[in-house]
Amino acid sequence: MAATYTMQEMKDLHNENETILYPRMIIKGQCSTEELIEDIAHHTTYNTGELRGMIMALKDAMAREMSRGYSVKLDEIGTFTPSLGITEGKEAEQPAGGNRRNARSIKIRNINFRADKELIRKTEGHCTLERESGTSKLKTSRHSSEKRLKMAQDFLTTHPYMTVADYMALTGLSHTTAARELQKWGTTPETGILPKGQRTHRVYVAVTAKEKG
């Protein structure tokens, strides 16, 4: 069965006044664990009970290793890496000192996955693509740029930090546009917003009085 794709309109990263088209796969649904087990059992000598037990054992072993501070690499599949966050309701720690966070206020926030090149290559080898008619239009916000900035500033008066996902939910922007706009706010001193952390761990916080001074 062929996978279908559409051409998605997106902002040109080199010219924000222009848009260009990128291919985007249309996800038809989600393959469940049971469906995956049935498929593997059909193509191997393992029965469904054995496969179900293997998957549960793998999940538990991965959780144990990541809880000890290790990433987990499954050959030809990919690497799983835990990331941390601050417990909801707790304030972010400031670089200049003051409210220092202890272990009880920090938790595993997410587990990031990076696919192995072999998994990508094998998926590509199985894939047959068909283009769907039409073009997906660029997702834009109904709020002006000034209004979106005010929304971000107001959010940070009641929250210790803001993520790209938070900004997407507030403004209705796509992930790419929201990330780029937050980066812009974070490098413009007049906004009162600062970036903290790197890459997948990056958040945005309000500038403190000490930092303003």
3-state SS assignment for residue 23: strand
What value does the mean pLDDT take over residues 142-162?
90
Residue 149 lies in a domain: no
Instruction: Give pLDDT, residue 71.
Output: 97
What value does the mean pLDDT take over residues 179-204?
88
* Long-range Cβ contact pairs of 158-163 (< 8 A, separation 24 or more): 160/86, 160/90, 160/91, 160/92, 160/205, 161/86, 161/92, 161/196, 161/203, 161/204, 161/205, 162/193, 162/203, 162/204, 162/205, 163/203, 163/204
Instruction: Give pLDDT, residue 198.
Output: 74
Place of tokens 């080199």: 14
pLDDT tens figures, 32-76? 999 999 999 999 999 999 999 999 999 999 999 999 999 999 999
Q: Which domain holds residue 6?
A: 1-59+116-138
188 vs 97 pLDDT, higher one: 188
Tell me the Ramachandran region of residue 84: left when phi exceeds 0, alpha when psi lies from -120 to 50, beta otherwise: beta
pLDDT tens figures, 110-143? 899 999 999 999 999 999 999 887 666 655 667 8
Residue 46 lies in a domain: yes
Instruction: Give pLDDT, residue 178.
Output: 87
Regarding pTM above 0.75, the answer is no
1 burial class (0-12, 13-18, 19+ CB within 10 angstroms)? Answer: exposed
Tell me how many domains the chain contains.
1
Residue 131 lies in a domain: yes
Residue 144 lies in a domain: no
Instruction: Give pLDDT, residue 41.
Output: 97
Residue 195 lies in a domain: no
Residue 1 lies in a domain: yes
Instruction: Give pLDDT, residue 104.
Output: 72
Mean pLDDT of the chain: 85
Confidence class for position 175, pLDDT limits 50, 70, 90: confident
Instruction: Enumerate helices (H) and strands (E) in the chain, giving the number of each.
Output: 7, 8
